[in-house]
Structure 1
Amino acid sequence: MQNKKYAAFQMGKITKTDRWVYLFLGLILIVALIIGLRDETAFNTRFANEDGFVENLTTVALLGVSILCGIRLFRQWNHHTWTWLLGTAGFAILFFFAAGEEISWGQRIFGWETNEYFMERNAQSETNLHNLVVGETKINKLIFSQLLTLVMVVYLIITPILYRRIKWVQDLFDRFAVPVVHWHHTIIFLLVTGIVLVIPAERKWEVYELAFGMIFFLIFLNPLNKEVFKN
């Protein structure tokens, strides 16, 4: 059953915040492309290095999504069903976890040492899960690359179509407070993917993670189903 409220391929209004974030992201991508094509060493060691500008900004973006969900949860606790609260709390925890993982839970910031478990099982000898090695399998490659790629394709391309055309899908997403993308979010993410793939530098995926964080902040801030997040 099609819901006439949302046209299947309606682009969606691009807000002033969207424009500023896209402009900022575009500038970062231009700089990344120039440096990555001219000097891979500079890209890896100065532009997209550990604890550098790109990685820290990614943490801020991911933490921003978590805080946004936390604020909604606090302000609207008495105005929504338990499924809405569960979904919002789940996203708050998920993005807080992602932000923590990005900076190894502040290990290098605060200077505390890696315990024996992570020293033996972490590819970078850091306190985080995404660099763990189980047997000969890197968790980062299995879950944070392959599985996440599949999830992104489904979330950014398939579910927006289903949400706009099938009533029970719309009800399910709204009930659990799952933000639905506007098509401009999807288009920007695909453009970013194409640009990042052109960069030969090894640490180009740090830029991709930054784009992920910034775009997802915009998705959660102004989703297609924004009425669901009002009192």
Structure 2
Amino acid sequence: MLKPTGLSLLEILLLIFTATMVASGIVIANIDIQWFEEVYVVEDGFVENWTVVPLLIAAAYAIYVYRTKRKDAGWRFKLMVGMIALFSLFVAGEEISWGQRLLGHESSAFFREHNAQGETNLHNMVVGGKKINKIVFSQLLVGAVGCYLFVLPFFYRKHREVRQAVDAWGIPVPQFYQTVACCALFLSILLIPSGKNAEILEAGITSLFLLILLFPYNSQLYRATDVL
């Protein structure tokens, strides 16, 4: 552990990397918006590709925990860890359009017609004239993230019954500094005068998602492992 912060080296590096990526985006966007959009957050560029990296690491870690967790962990714990792995892989697949550009194959007629970018993925699908990811990010995700970052940690610390239920399900609870980092990220995006600021948000939030998964407040649940 590093003093006086009490954070591990990996935690500090992840925070510094994420902060640097976001701060660079803010500065670049306000100096040269064209360079920001056509180079910094360009399709298949560094920022977009980085979004996938924390998700793949998170999936690998969740699979590792699933495989090595002690046998008395219970089905609920393993179900949650399995869902985290599947969720991470699904979002990573969506981000790279399931390897469409990597493999060089064309989208089907259905996706060319109903996908805003003509890609083989679900988050850019258009429903009722609106992109699915806009609906999710503007409504569902904001409420869910708010509850996860603020409501869950509060009740976890205050109520034993909640703590027992959360631990039984293996839900990683955010630490206070992680909640602050997420809030800072969401506020920072407002400083980027570009419609592509969501690319920075996605890259930042996946990094912080990995940080919470690796170093949750209830980290003891993930550390006590025995090979099955």
TM-score by length of 2: 0.92
Contact 1:123–1:133 (CA<8 Å) still a contact in 2? Answer: yes
CA–CA distance in structure 2, aligned partners of residues 106 and 144 of structure 1: 23
Q: Of 193, 217, 228, which residue of structure 1 is paired with 2:210?
A: 217
SS of 1:107's equivalent in the other structure is helix
1:46 aligns with 2:39: yes
Residue 169, structure 1, aligned to residue 153, structure 2: no
Q: Deviations over 1:135-161 (max 9, x none)?
A: 323211112442111111111111110
Matched with 2:29 is 36
Q: Distance in 2 between the 1:26 and 1:110 partners? A: 32
Contact 1:182–1:224 under 8 Å retained in 2: yes
Q: Which runs of 5+ in 2 are unaligned?
A: none
- For residue 198 of structure 1, give the secondary structure of its aligned residue in structure 2: coil
In 2, distance between residues paired with 1:109 and 1:126?
12
Distance 1:225 1:87 in 2: 14
Partner of 1:4: none
- The superposition leaves residues 13-44 of structure 1 with CA deviations (integer Å, 9 ceiling, x where unpaired) of 42221111111112212211111101111111
User: For the residues of structure 2 that align with 1:187 and 1:147, how far apart are their CA atoms?
Assistant: 21
Provide TM-score, normalisation by structure 1: 0.91
Name the residue aligned to 2:18. Answer: 25
Map 1:188-203 → 2, pairs under 5 A: 188-203=181-196
Change (3 A) 1:101 1:170: same
Give the aligned partner of residue 146 of structure 1: 139
Question: C-alpha displacement at 1:119, in angstroms?
Answer: 1.3
The residue type paired with residue 62 of structure 1 is: L
Q: Which residue is 1:106 aligned to?
A: 99
Could you list the runs of 5+ residues in structure 1 that have no partner in the other structure? 1-11
Residue 93, structure 1, aligned to residue 86, structure 2: yes
> 2:66 maps to which residue?
73
Q: Percent identity?
A: 34
Q: Which moved more, 1:72-81 or 1:33-42?
A: 72-81
Are the counterparts in 2 of residues 118 and 127 from structure 1 also a CA contact under 8 Å?
yes
2:49 to 36, 56, 64: 56
The superposition leaves residues 186-206 of structure 1 with CA deviations (integer Å, 9 ceiling, x where unpaired) of 111111222211110221111
Tell me, yes or no, if the aligned pair for 1:77 and 1:85 is still in contact at 8 Å. no
Residue in structure 2 matched with residue 129 of structure 1 by the alignment = 122
Which one-letter code corresponds to 1:43 in the other structure?
A: F
> Which residue of the partner structure matches residue 5 of structure 1?
none
